[in-house]
Amino acid sequence: AQSVTQPDIHITVSEGASLELRCNYSYGATPYLFWYVQSPGQGLQLLLKYFSGDTLVQGIKGFEAEFKRSQSSFNLRKPSVHWSDAAEYFCAVAIYNQGGKLIFGQGTELSVKP
Amino acid sequence: DTEVTQTPKHLVMGMTNKKSLKCEQHMGHRAMYWYKQKAKKPPELMFVYSYEKLSINESVPSRFSPECPNSSLLNLHLHALQPEDSALYLCASSQTQGERSKQYFGPGTRLTVT
């Protein structure tokens, strides 16, 4: 069955430090991968997506992610974190031929220390 | 305009009440989605409408009744809910339904069932 795993429930980083959020997926075919961010009490905002092509994708707010098929991973990175990046981050995979249904990971809560 | 709006922001209802949640988008999208999100959990898909027709029903109890009166509007009618139905209800839309479609999320309606 398709699944998405985010191994880190909660991460704390200092402002200005680099960030990497991990995401592993289980999917038999080429995955359609997404990273979303959710601020407290808000909806989800798409940061970036990967369908095919260049395995390093750039997103909004200075985020990037790298698709590694050999490791079944799609980790999210940011070189320098800002206090406003504190939020919940969800990795998701869209299942082919199931009408855009997204399978989400459990989420990683990011806290930023001043 | 890349906005999905949802009303009301908050709703408290008793178990015998009937209420409705409303979602609206003016991006010309032809796919609209309802998700349920419990605290500290990822969103779970409930329904998908494509071209105003119900496309996916994720075995949601009949006390939740979706309606898509036109391509811009999506309603979720609620009746005889249980306390465990308390959650954040998110609406999303995308240009079309499919695994490559970017879903835009609204801010959600926070529902409390007493």
Asked if pLDDT for residue B1 goes beyond 70, the answer is no
**Shortest Cα–Cα distance, A98 to chain B (Å):** 7
Q: Number of Cβ pairs closer than 8 Å across A and B?
A: 67
Question: Given an 8 Å threshold on Cβ–Cβ distance, is B45 in contact with A102?
Answer: yes
Please give the backbone phi and psi of residue B84, each rounded to the nearest 5 degrees, phi first.
-70, -5
Please give the torsion angle defined by the CA atoms of residues B6, B7, B8 and B13, in that order, rounded to the nearest 10 degrees.
-90
Question: Given an 8 Å threshold on Cβ–Cβ distance, is A46 in contact with B106?
Answer: no
Distance, CA of B103 to CA of A41 (rounded, Å) = 18
Task: Output the six-digit token pair for A7.
Answer: 């191994």
pLDDT digits (tens, 9 = 90+) for A6-37: 999 999 999 999 999 999 999 877 789 999 99
Closest-CA residue of A relative to B10 is A41
Question: Given an 8 Å threshold on Cβ–Cβ distance, is B105 in contact with A100?
Answer: no
Question: Given an 8 Å threshold on Cβ–Cβ distance, is B42 in contact with A105?
Answer: yes
pLDDT digits (tens, 9 = 90+) for A46-61: 999 998 888 999 999 9
Give the pLDDT band (50/70/90) at residue B2: low
